[in-house]
Amino acid sequence: MKLRTVLAGAVGALGTAAVVNAALTRRADELPPAIEGEQQTYRWRGMDVAYTERGDPDDPDLLLLHGVSAAGSSHEFAEVVDEFAEDHHVLVPDLPGFGRSDRPPLIYSPTLYEGFVADFVRDNTENPTVVGSSLTGAYLAAAAGKPDVEVARLILISPTTETMPGQRTWLRSLLRAPLVGTAINNLVTSKPAIRYFSADHGYYDPNEVTEEQVEYQWQSAHQPGARYAPASFISGYLDPDIDLTEQLDELDVPTTLVWGRETETTPLSEGRALAEQSDARLVVVDYARLLPHAEHPETFAQLLREELSLPEGE
């Protein structure tokens, strides 16, 4: 009787999950562009990678690369682009597996993202300034060391190589599964969960997280194939196997680190150590955590302006 009860409960739970998954899928609309501008497509390794292009192509290139999360997208830089579009050629892609880019059922990995960043820089820019957020900052540092990748300056926002403890193959498989994986993805990307994670480590002031931001993240996280890249992230398989200090120290590229003073997941002490050991500049944004550019776009824009005006090598 006990086994029958357990099996009946499991079947009932799976049936409920299937109904909820279907209902949430119907609620998700086609994802609109996160940023106004020319909507372009970069064909890369069989995938269509969406990116927004703003400004005159003859102006200096500025490439903005969003961080990795369960609901990541180029929307992270939505409030920054206007400041630079008048005198820069701004490109803002959705990483493969996120936003409006294709989300095939690949096993997503750090080498895939390092390769994407390197190829995007080679194929679509000319000696750009490149901004990379959080984990993508580490991919950017690795890509900048590859042959024929030329960048003028790196701006890394709380870069890290460690987000999840260990690598758990069983968890990645579970999160990729059609029924259970979709149900878990729906749970961790629910609107209450998005607000919680934003308040817990993304923003210093949770009141700065707007309903429009939450809605866009929710819509992005409920597109077809949305669970595959986050499955690798949550299970620890997107942390790159590099020493970030050594990587930055080896690069002959002016590098600025941007840190929110109140960041806890990658505390400011780590930023100070990384800057000192890699000979990078460190700029601290007050009343900010992991996303100072999203929470304080005007402050970040002014900071970036100042960094772009520095002579090469400083």
Write the DSSP assignment of 161-200 as a string of letters: S-SSSS--HHHHHHHHSHHHHHHHHHHHTSHHHHHHHIII
**Mean confidence (pLDDT) of the chain:** 91
Q: What are phi and psi of 155, to 5 degrees?
A: -120, 110
The model's pTM is: 0.91
Provide the pLDDT for residue 16.
Answer: 45
Whether the predicted pLDDT of 25 surpasses 80: no
Structure tokens at 102: 């294709």
31-64: per-residue pLDDT in tens?
999 999 999 999 999 999 999 999 999 999 999 9
- What's the gap between Cα 80 and its chain centre? 15
**What percent of the chain has a predicted confidence (pLDDT) above 90?**
86
Structure tokens at 200: 């817990």
**pLDDT tier at 1, thresholds 50, 70, 90:** very low
258-268: per-residue pLDDT in tens?
999 999 989 99
Provide the pLDDT for residue 165.
Answer: 85
Cβ burial of 25 (10 Å; 0-12, 13-18, 19+) is middle
